[in-house]
A and B are shown apart, each in its own frame.
Chain A
Amino acid sequence: AQTVTQSQPEMSVQEAETVTLSCTYDTSESDYYLFWYKQPPSRQMILVIRQEAYKQQNATENRFSVNFQKAAKSFSLKISDSQLGDAAMYFCAYRSTNDYKLSFGAGTTVTVRA
């Protein structure tokens, strides 16, 4: 099984500021997919952003962007102009191109201060 590590259990950010969540993973494969999922309190998990390993360009979705460092096996998420609605648990996930299941990290709880 792939190992996904999120070393920050909790992060706090002031509204309108930027926060970066870290994620590292362990794999011997060259092609795979990486995801960031958001899980608000008592609500279902939704996809924030996705990155294909064969693409060198970092993915961006509105205020969310990633810094994908393939050689370092690092996949961080930057949330810009943080909003109160960004408060949630964020999970980094890995999926091999030869597999269907997701391997998740332990998650980072993001708190947004008004």
Chain B
Amino acid sequence: DTGVSQNPRHKITKRGQNVTFRCDPISEHNRLYWYRQTLGQGPEFLTYFQNEAQLEKSRLLSDRFSAERPKGSFSTLEIQRTEQGDSAMYLCASSLAALAGVEQFFGPGTRLTVL
């Protein structure tokens, strides 16, 4: 399968715990995005990488959130000291930088539930 993959698909954690999600983009894509989607809403942008460089972070990305893309391939999103308000679907997307108006390809998401 050459699409965007995300692991785990589901994560249940207790408030105050740390969680880490992984995203593997389409192999030749150099741009990678993280979005958060709460129930009944559209995705909201969190952060964006071009290769290994994190170029933009949303104000939604509090200091408890950190994202990395160490070798310009897969990316991780870590949430420290989780809160109930962090419960959401976390979506990863990737695209190829060279094309204007290019489509972002989305992964299946990681659904986080904070108890």
Contacts and interface: CB of A to CB of B under 8 A. Distances in A.
B91 A45 contact: yes
B21 interface: no
A93 B48 CA distance: 17
B103 A101 contact: no
Contact of A47 (B33, B42, B100, B103): B103
Interface in B67-115: 91, 95, 100-101, 103-104, 106-109
A64 B55 CA distance: 34
Interface residues of A, number: 24
A106 B39 CA distance: 10
A52 to B, nearest CB: 6
B100 A100 contact: no
B29 interface: no
Majority secondary structure of chain A interface residues (helix, strand, loop or mixed):
strand
A100 to B, nearest CB: 6
A35 B48 CA distance: 19
Given A45-B91, A46-B106, A101 B45 contact: yes
Interface of A: 4, 6, 33, 35, 37, 43-47, 50, 52, 91, 93, 95, 97, 100-107
22 contacts: A4-B42, A35-B103, A44-B106, A44-B107, A44-B109, A45-B43, A47-B104, A50-B101, A50-B103, A91-B42, A95-B101, A97-B100, A97-B101, A100-B31, A100-B33, A100-B48, A100-B55, A100-B56, A100-B95, A101-B33, A101-B58, A102-B104
